[in-house]
A and B are shown apart, each in its own frame.
Chain A
Amino acid sequence: MSILWRLLAKYRRAVILAVALVMAFLLMTLQVRHDRAVVSFTRQAVLFLMTPVIKVTAVTVGSVSRVWGDYVDLRNLREESLRLTREAAVLQRRISHLEEQALETQRLQGLLVMREISRAEFLAARVVGKDSTNWFKTVLIDRGSLAGIRRNLPVVAPDGLVGRVVEVTPTAAKVQLITDPVSAAGGLIQRTRVTGIVSGSLGAGLKVRYLPLMADIVIGDEVVTSGMGGVFPKGIPLGRVIAAERRSGALFQEATLAPKVDLSRLEEVLILMGTESRDGFETGGVRQP
């Protein structure tokens, strides 16, 4: 036993490195094998610890930006007189505040319109953080399982599909954007009713793959969700075709889409909690009759 301890002590650097690498490798292997229990627990535990800090930072940054904006606005005012400057400063602050409110109202009106159109049950959430790497495209939202959010619920914005919920903690959730390299959704070319698989890529933009070789696809075609695949309901706008490619010898053609939603400027999103809609949209990955 003492020999073992002596050996471990002697080679502790190598042992610690090996243990760390094996643990990381095991975590990745478990995830690839869809054994989610350990991975999900670890991920949620870290998320649970980190989310409060991220939320507080997001709120603080928002407040500081507003104060900074007010400060910049104030500096730009001409100092004609002390009284007028003070009045202008007060007015400027009010204007900034009202403008912010107006923009927010505009955005929320858009969300409301969408809600009325699709008659679905929605839950609004704020985006509080972005993906921590440049490899993947996810965002953190400020609603979690306490608000009824579950994995695989679709997330939308007024202009179209945003993505789906992939990780949930009690007070926050992670949304995989449609531009994420490992994201995929069934797509439908609206004009010709041809279906394909819309997936993200490492570069910007979306790709529609597995389109029939002879399908009629032109630049400007609108693409919506096809409803196939069991996660996204049919008819949510995905993007517009900006390029189509037929490679010689290929079995399928491919198109590049510009996403409908500006995913780099997301502030609020809607989570589709389930619906009584015409398309038989399912909840939590289980199709409703």
Chain B
Amino acid sequence: MRVFLLSLLACAAAQTVLLDPLSVGGVRPDCFLLLVLCSSPRVRPELATIQGFCIGLCQDALSGGPLGLKAFTYSLLGFLTALLSHDLFTDKPLAQFWLLLVGAASAGALSFLLLSFFMGLAPLLPALWVIVPETLYTAVVGFLLLRLPWVRATLARAT
């Protein structure tokens, strides 16, 4: 619990302050999404849902988007990741990368659908210019992070 809260605060600080120099064409990796994808496979689906909801709510509060957008997305993503994924913490790098990629793409697509439903925000093409780079960037950064021994150790300790 303590590790989760600290990770959440660290994510908030990283996403709003630290990641700006890593921005490529205005797109940054999504730390909150990485936290959902990395923490969910290690806990029960019900806890992953609650964690996803809290992470999403924090991201919504720090963003200009509607409150509940990411909370909805991450609750569902956390639940599904916890339910389906046992591969993210294996030593199969390709499986890890694909799971991160699919998770990030699903989160982007779901956010787009919710935004379109509630705000009629944008046609698909401009949205793809956000979803695709964000998905790739987040998956690559997540993949590299999961290669670091201390990240794996922290995640293991957290559960």
Q: Does A162 contact B (CB under 8 A)?
A: no
CB distance from A165 to the nearest CB of B (A): 12
Q: Does B97 contact A (CB under 8 A)?
A: no
Interface residue range, chain B: 35 or more
Q: Which of B12-20, B88-96, B151-159 contacts A (4 or more CB under 8 A)?
A: B12-20
Contacts of B49 in A (CB 8 A): 13, 16-17, 20
The 8 Å CB contact of B68, one of A28, A57, A58, A166, is: A28
Interface residue range, chain A: 35 or more
Contacts of A130 in B (CB 8 A): 16-17, 20
Interface residues as binary, A29-54 with B (CB distance below 8 Å gives 1, 0 otherwise): 10110000001001100110010011
Q: Does B28 contact A (CB under 8 A)?
A: yes
Q: Does A283 contact B (CB under 8 A)?
A: no
- Dominant SS at the B interface? helix
CB distance from B86 to the nearest CB of A (A): 17
Contacts of A50 in B (CB 8 A): 9, 12, 58, 61-62
CA distance A46 to B5 in the complex (A): 13
CA distance A130 to B31 in the complex (A): 13
CB distance from B80 to the nearest CB of A (A): 9
B134 touches A28 (CB 8 A): no
Q: Count how many pairs of residues, one from A and one from B, have CB atoms less than 8 Å apart in the complex.
A: 159
B46 touches A13 (CB 8 A): yes
CB distance from A38 to the nearest CB of B (A): 9
**Among A17, A29, A43, A201: residue with most chain B CB under 10 A:** A17
B72 touches A133 (CB 8 A): no
A181 touches B121 (CB 8 A): yes
User: B residues engaging A (CB < 8 A)?
Assistant: 9, 12-13, 15-18, 20, 23, 26-28, 30, 32, 44-46, 49-50, 52-53, 56-72, 75-76, 79, 83, 111, 114-115, 118-119, 121-122, 126-127, 129-130, 133-134
User: A residues engaging B (CB < 8 A)?
Assistant: 12-13, 16-17, 20-21, 23-29, 31-32, 39, 42-43, 46-47, 50, 53-54, 56-58, 61, 128-138, 140, 166, 174, 176, 180-182, 201-204, 264
Additional 12 contacts, C-beta under 8 A, given A50-B9, A134-B30: A20-B52, A23-B53, A50-B61, A53-B9, A53-B12, A61-B18, A131-B63, A132-B58, A133-B70, A136-B65, A181-B121, A182-B64
